[in-house]
Each structure stands twice: as C-alpha cells, then as structure tokens.
Chain A
Amino acid sequence: MTTLRPFTCDDMFRFNFVNLDPLTETYGLTFYLQYMAHWPEYFQLTEAPGGEIMGYIMGKAEGHATNWHGHVTALSVAPDYRRLGLAAKLMFGLEEISEKKQAYFVDLFVRVSNTVAINMYKNLGYIIYRTVLEYYSGSPDEDAYDMRKSLSRDVDKLSVVPLTHPVRPEDIE
C-alpha cells in the first residue's frame, strides 16, 4: 500500500528512514528547495499507510533539441521498504512526466560498483549508454554508467545507441 504524491517541504522533517541510509546523501536545504521550485512535478515520494516515508525520487527535465530529456537526480528507498517495487513505481512516474513533456529519453548516473541498482535499471528497460570516467570523487574516484531509456518521441531509438568509448565528466552535456 503506497501513496504516491509530490514531495513537500514538511517531508524533509521526516525523511530520515530514507536519508539515514549511508548510500543516501542529505543535502543542504537549497538543493531540495530548488528542485521543488524548478521541477515540483519531478519530485515525488511514496508514503506507507502509517505515514512513514518509504522512498522518493528527484529529477528534472533538461537539454536542447533531441537531447531534451528527463534526468533522475536521486532515487532512494528506505531499507525496510525494499523489494516492494517502489523504485520501479517512482521511475515509472518520472518516465510518464517526461513523456508528457515530450522528452526523447530518460537518463541517470550510477556507480559502476552498484550492481543491484544497475540490474534494477536494466530490468526497467535502461541500457548502459556510456561510461563516465571518475565521475564520483572519493578515494579512489569511481566511474559512472550513464544509463538511458528512450521514450516514444525518439521513434528511431537514436538516443540509446551505446557509445563505444568512455567519456570524461567535463564532456557530458
């Protein structure tokens, strides 16, 4: 049982089930508020019958011409609410909005080591479009996969023809 609804400011006071997980970063207020101000429809959460926040997705629409696309900035589900298909539900919502905005594709970045997430995205129809070298800083830096799924506007599926060579972070549009 899930309520899918837009993320609001007050939710930040109670998103700790999701954000205390070490793989989920808590950002400064501006980060969340700017997403809410700019792309409120792309910031959605799922709530349990008892009101607990189970997970949320943050995204945006960006790019020009055939690069106009939806982007997943953050997707996180609280550990106790995994294996319920919530991430898929949130992703589906974001794809639907991107369809409505007539985007050509949806993309996201994921650590190459995060096999659980990579497999989940593959099951949702995403392909590894390219590798971005040393995208995540740390010691050592880690590469990212730029994963994509084309939307109906990209009739010829040109957005999901994988690149053969990796790119540097500064080369990403």
Chain B
Amino acid sequence: MVSKMATKMKPVDNSVNERRLRPIYDWLDNGNNKKALQEAEKVLKKQPNLQCARVLKALAMVRLGKSEEAQTILQDVQLEEPCEDATLQAMAICYRETHRPELTCHIYEAAVRKDPLNEEFLSHLFMGYVRIGDYRKQQLTAMALFKVKPKNPYYFWAVMSILMQAYVNDDTTVCLTITLPLAERMIKKFVEEKKIEAEAEVQLYLMVLEKQKKYQEALQVLQGSLSEKLANGMIENKKGEYLRQMKRWDQMLDYTEELLRSNPDQWSHYSLYMEALFELTSTTNADVIGRAKTFLLSLMEQERLKSENKLRGPYLAMLFFWQQLQQRNFDASTVFGNFREFAQEYVEVMGDKPCAFQDLRPFVGSLPPDQVNEFLGCVTQSVGLDQSSPQSPTTFLFFFQVKQICRHLLHIQLNRFLGQHDLLSKEEKIELSQKLWGHYLRTKSLNAGLLATDFRPNDGYALLAAHLLLDTWNNDPVVLDKCLLLLETALANSPANYHLKLLVTRVYTLAGHGRAAFQRYESLDVKYIQLDSLGHLLCRPLISMGLPYTASPLLSNTLRFYTTHARETSECLISAYKFGSFGKIPEFTQFCQRLDSSAHFASSTTERMLLDLLLDGSSHAKLVQSAAGMFADPDKDQPDWKTCVDNRDCGVFVSWDPPAK
C-alpha cells in the first residue's frame, strides 16, 4: 500500500503537505490512477516544487501507461537528491514497477551521502542492493548500519553478504584465503564476546564453516553451548552430514544406529547408515555386516510384535540392505537371507496400502529372475481370493474389501514392473486389459459413500487397462478411442483422480484431439510454478494440433509467470534477511536462476514469437513490423539453449513399466 508511507512522513513535512498529499495516496491505493494524477496536478499548482507530489504524479503516470513522461519527472527529482522518506519510498515504488531496481540504490546512496547516520535510509539502501544482488555493497552498507545502530541483525547481514560473495566467486583461492576467513573471524569475535543471540546466527556460523569444509569446527559448534539455540532436527541432520564429510565412518555408523533406534522410519538415516557401513567393510576387519544384520533385524522384530500402526521403514530396510549387499559384490542371499521372503513379508504387512508399489519400486528390481514367478505367486496369495478356477475370469475374482483391491492392484503392478506384460502378445494384452476393465466394473459397488474429492480404490484397474491398451497402440486410432472411452468412464466416476486426468490428456494429445486435451488439462487447474513443471504437457502440442488461439493465452499466462517471479523472489530475499533465514538466501537465489534458465521458459518464449508472427500476419507490413519488434538481432537474441534446465515433473506420471523402459 502506498498510503502506509504517508504515515511515515517525518515531522519536517508540515501537516499542510500531509493533508494535501493524502487524497493522492488514497486514489492510488484505490487503483484510481486518473484521479490520483488530477489530484497531484492540483497540489502541484499550489506547490510546483513539492517533490513528493511530483513523484506521486509520476507513479500515477506509470500506472496509466505513461512511463516515459514519468521517467522525465523522476529524473528531475533524482537530480535534486531528495532526502525525505515518503518521496524516496514513492520513487522506489516507481522504479520497482518499471523494473529499474538499480535506480532505487542510486537515490538512497544520494540520501545517505547527505544524512550518513540515518538508519532508515541505510536500511533501504541495503535492501536495494539485495534486490540487485550487489553483495559487496550490501556488506559495506550493513557494516555502516551496524556502526549507526549496533544491532546483531545488521552485523550478520554483513556476514551473510560476505558469504554470498564466496558463493558467486569462482576463484576458490580468494574465497578460502580472504572472503570466508573474514566472515568466520567476524562471527568468532561475537562468539568470544558472547554476543550471539539467535538461532539464525549459529546457523550462519555453520554455513561459513561448511563452505570452508571446516567440518571438525562445525561439529564442535554442534556439541558446544551454541547448539542450544538450534532445533533438534537440524543438529541431527548436520551431525550425520559432518561425520560423512570427514569420512568418520565408525562414528557415523554408531550415530545413525542411535538415530534409527529412536526413529526407525527415517529413510535419510538408513541411507547414511548404509553408506557408513559399506565404507567400513573396506577399512576394518570387524564384522560390521554381522552387526548390521542383527541391528536391522532387531528393528524389524519390533514391528513384527506390533499389532497395528506398523512402520514401513524397518521392512523396507531389509530390501535396501539386501540390495546394497548385492550391489557391493557380497553374496546377499548367503550373508543376509532370501530377498523374496523379505519382499513377501513387506507385501503381507503393507500390501493393502496404495503406496505399496511406489515403496517397492526402488528395490524389487533386485529380485533374482528365477524367483520372479514364485514371488508373484505369493503376492497373489496375499490378496486372499479364491483362485481355484483361474480359467474362468467371471468367477475368478470376487472382491469384498477395498484392501483386497489394493493387494490385487499391487499384484498386477508388480507383474508389469517385473516384465510379465512384455511377454504377452498383442491379443493377450487386449484380453488382459478387458479383464481388468471387468474388475473395474465389478468393484464399483465398493466406491459407495466416498466423497467426490476422494480417489476411487478401483481407479487403478482403469489406469492399468489403459496402459495395456497403449502398449498395443502402434498408431492404430481405434486403440486410442477404446483407451479414451475407459479413461473417461473412470474419470466420470472419480472426478478428483489426477492420474486419470493426466493420462487422458496425454491420450487425447496422441489422438490429436486438441480441444478435449485442453479441457482435461484445464481440470487439473495448473498454475504458478506448475506452469513450469507441467506446462509441457499441453503448450506445444496445442499448436501442433492446430489450436493456436487456444495456445496463445496459455503461453501468455506462462510467460507472465516467468517475468514476475524475479521481483517476487527478490522481495522474499529481503524477508529472509529480515527474519534471519540465512540458509534460504542462497537457496532463493538458485531457485530464481533455475526458473530463469527453464527450458520451458525458453521454448514458450520462442513459441510465443512464432505464434505472434502467425496470428498477426494479416499484411506484409504488419508482419515486418512484428518481426522487427521482436529481435534486435535474431542471431544474438536467442535463448541460451545450452544452459537451459529441465524443470519438468515427469515423476507425476505414474507408470508400472519395467525400469529398462
């Protein structure tokens, strides 16, 4: 709100000025920029030199699309080097809205020259440098602030600004000999003087040590009195990570074992545990494998004894350990036991959860090929169905529990993942697909009572039936029609299921049904960051499906997201400094770069331009004009395709294909 600034006016602004300016602020806040402009002109008739009124006039003009005239006013005011808070803040808003954040720095630099002890100006200047990422000037300004007002946050803003210089400087020698030691010395000084106040300050200390790979010192911080300021979770994670970096495998094994005892479901602990364990096997003669075996089995034993709320972790840890042994050339079966039996035990305990397949996916590929059939046989048995007459599909399955559906789906998913569907002929695949569709229809009664927003437990049959049909596609449009029919039927029964929506969108695209694809895509309500991670699903296909007018707003929307994010991120960077979330500062910066370098951004920009040429080309003259407006130099103004990054979320498309596919 612009009006907030009015209340911050210093006493030097007499009340007459404030009273006169108030209506301009109000009109601006209400979005009535025309009235704001008129009001400003009225005030300027009485006081033509009133800086704040001139700037507010410029702001109204910016918002009315008269940026060029506004710039002239702003330049004149800037030359006068204003030194009054409300004027400066209004100018900063103008610069932000015209994407000239560097000019904000210039006006505050001038103001600070006139009034070097003004905390407010210095603070705005610091934030101005944050917006443009000038870390060196951030550092100097933060120190100037600290001299004016010796508050801890200012001091640590300076330290963080130094650390950021090290993050962006490729010259590691300079970083390690000058930049980072300076940051470290500054913090140590505060530690010694017992001036450390906040968790953020300790975190920053750790970041500075980490960047120098001084893990021993960092570990000492975690074990010392400063750690009282840190959250338990952070200490746990950091300690494990430091031990890992220092290759203290024996300590790391003990430590992660301790963590797992108190939290046997935390996957990241198992990962560290395994790493330490196998590093140790090559450096010690002690029977660490035997120890791990006993330990992991004891964790599972605890779960076995529970009657309910069993944790998945210890069961999956068996598979993980077995897989790790095998990958590191141990004879896992002899050393640890039968993989199939461990997998079966997991299926027995957790097979009725929808996540069972996703859980097993990273491990089940390790199943020895000669045990696949036996394993799948056991999974079938765990479904708990009468299979005495497998030849007669109509009587074969009779479900009476949702849990059975989950188990049965898991069975089919594992069959597919373990390559069993690849062994089928085209006709057999179609037959199996029909059979699954039959299961889908027969199990619909179990969906009774669910809310529209719930997934239906039997949706999985429709998805698998569709995947099987798609296996047989081979450019046959009839296959796609069949596939669409069953997906649409399933979607009508389960309107919230996004797996169905995603797949149906893709199949419509394959079939060239642009409008239908667009309709289904719209039902996913893709927006903001999802435009980047999921936009590829439809943006370009729409154009190739002959729907440029549908693609056009989609592209505009996407590009608007990309062009506004930088400003949004820079405001959040400022918040991170204000709240001392120093760890987030490099993260936000990298995030911003990741969005800027998005391949989808680059391709959408190009598509947008091609589309403009296509849609605006009503006459030769217009076409030339459009083209001229796009590029200064078509060769140079290309996206840098080499540095583009792929931000697509491909994991969201569920599939049960074997890993080799």
Measured CB to CB, the residues of A under 8 A from B are 1-6, 8-10, 12-14, 16-17, 19-23, 26-30, 33-34, 36-38, 40-41, 47-52, 54, 79-85, 93, 96-97, 100
Contacts and interface: CB of A to CB of B under 8 A. Distances in A.
A85 B584 contact: no
B524 interface: yes
B404 to A, nearest CB: 15
A52 B312 contact: no
A49 B311 CA distance: 13
Contact of B584 (A40, A49, A93): A40
Contacts of B234: 41
Interface in B491-541: 496-498, 501-502, 524-525, 527-530, 532-534
A21 B571 CA distance: 29
Contacts of B579: 37-38
Interface string B580-592: 0101100110110
Contacts, number: 152
Chain B interface size band reads 35 or more
Given A37-B579, A50-B358, A22 B652 contact: no
A98 to B, nearest CB: 12
Contacts of A41: 231, 233-234
Given A29-B565, A83-B353, A85-B309, A23 B528 contact: no
Contacts of A16: 498, 530, 533-534, 649, 652
A49 B356 CA distance: 11
Q: Which applies to chain B's interface (DSSP): helix, strand, loop or mixed?
A: helix
A36 B361 CA distance: 31
Interface in B452-483: 453-455
Contact of A23 (B453, B572, B583): B453
23 contacts: A2-B312, A3-B268, A10-B594, A13-B529, A13-B647, A14-B651, A14-B652, A16-B530, A19-B530, A21-B453, A26-B528, A26-B529, A29-B565, A33-B569, A36-B584, A36-B588, A37-B575, A37-B578, A38-B581, A49-B316, A50-B359, A84-B353, A100-B232
B530 A1 contact: no
Contact of A84 (B355, B527, B572): B355
B649 A14 contact: yes
Which of A3, A13, A19, A51 is most buried by chain B, counting CB atoms within 10 A of its CB?
Answer: A13
B453 A40 contact: no
B267 A30 contact: no
B153 interface: no
B528 A27 contact: yes
A85 B496 CA distance: 22
A38 B578 CA distance: 8
B362 interface: yes
Contacts of B359: 1, 48-50
A60 to B, nearest CB: 11
